[in-house]
Amino acid sequence: MADAPLLGRANDTTRSTGSRIKNARNVDTNTSILRSILKIFSGGLIAPADTTYATIMILLNSTDADEQDHLTKQWRDHKLNELSFIGVVSPLVAVCLVSTGAWDEISGKGWYIRAIWYSGIVFALFSVLTATQQTLRLHRLSAHKDGLHLLRLCLVRDRKQLDSEEGEAKLVPKPFQIWSWQSSMMFLMMAVGCLLVGMLVLVWSAVAKETENVVYDENVKLAITFTAVLATTVVYFFATQVSLMVGVSVE
C-alpha cells in the first residue's frame, strides 16, 4: 500500500503547475508595475522613451523614403501642437506665481517662500521662451527645401548595434536632443512644483511657530487638510502616469 501524501495533494502535479504559473504571472505583473513606477522618475514625466525615443527611432530607420518623410512631418506637426499647448499653459502658471506676491499671508513670512515662488516664475518664463524658440526653429527648418532631411540630421547621433533579431546597426537619436525637445515641458513641471511646494511651506510655516504649545487651531487644520489633498492628488497623478505607459518597442 502506497504511503499517503503528507499534505493530501502532493501528487497533484496539474494543480502544482497551475499554481506556479499563477505565481509567476503575479511576479511579472508586480515587476512590470515597479518598472513603470521607476520609469516615471527616470524620465517618464519629461521624456518618456515609449512616446519620444521610440518615435524618433522609427522615423530615422524607415527604409522607405516617402514613409520616412511622412513620419518626419507627423513628428514635426505633433511637436508644434505640443509646443503651442505648453506656450498657453506656461503663462497661466506664471500669472498664478506672480499673483502670490499680493497675498497678505506672505507678509512677515520667511524669505524662502518668496524664493521658491520667484524660482517658479523663472521656470515658467523659460518654458515659454523655450517653446517659442523651438517652434520658430521647426518653422524655419520646414521652410528649407531639404527641411525634413535637416530635421532628421538634428535628431540623429550615429549608428549603434542594438539587440534585435537582425543584429544590424540602426540609427539612434541624440540623447541630449531628446531632452532638449522636452525642455519646455520640464520647465513647466518645475514651475508647477515650485508653486505647490511654496504653498505647502506657507501653510506649515504658521504651524511651526506654535510647536511649543500645540493647539489644533485653524492653521493646523488648514495645513493638515491642504497636505492631505495635495498628497492624494500627487499619488493619483503618478498613478495615471503609470497607466499611460504604452511600452512601444524601440528595436
The predicted pLDDT at position 190 comes to 93
Q: How far are the Cα atoms of 48, 179, 210 from residue 182, in angstroms, in the given order?
A: 10, 5, 43
Q: Is the pLDDT of residue 233 over 60?
A: yes
Residue 181 belongs to some domain of the structure: yes
Is 187:126 a contact under the CB 8 Å cutoff? yes
For the whole model, what pTM was predicted?
0.74
Can you tell me whether residue 119 is helix, strand or coil?
A: helix
Q: Is the pLDDT of residue 250 over 90?
A: no
Is 98:120 a contact under the CB 8 Å cutoff? no
| Cell numbers placing 42 | 527616470
The predicted pLDDT at position 213 comes to 62
Q: What residue numbers bound the domain in which 144 lies?
A: 46-195
Residue 68 belongs to some domain of the structure: yes
Residue 99 belongs to some domain of the structure: yes
The predicted pLDDT at position 115 comes to 92
- Average pLDDT for the chain: 77
**130 vs 50: which has the higher pLDDT:** 130
Residue 125 belongs to some domain of the structure: yes
Q: Is the pLDDT of residue 15 over 60?
A: no
Residue 182 belongs to some domain of the structure: yes
For the stretch 204-228, pLDDT in tens is 887 776 556 666 778 888 889 999 9
Per-residue pLDDT band at 41 (split at 50, 70, 90): low
Q: Let me know how many helices (H) and strands (E) the chain has, helices first.
A: 8, 2
> How many structural domains comprise the chain?
1
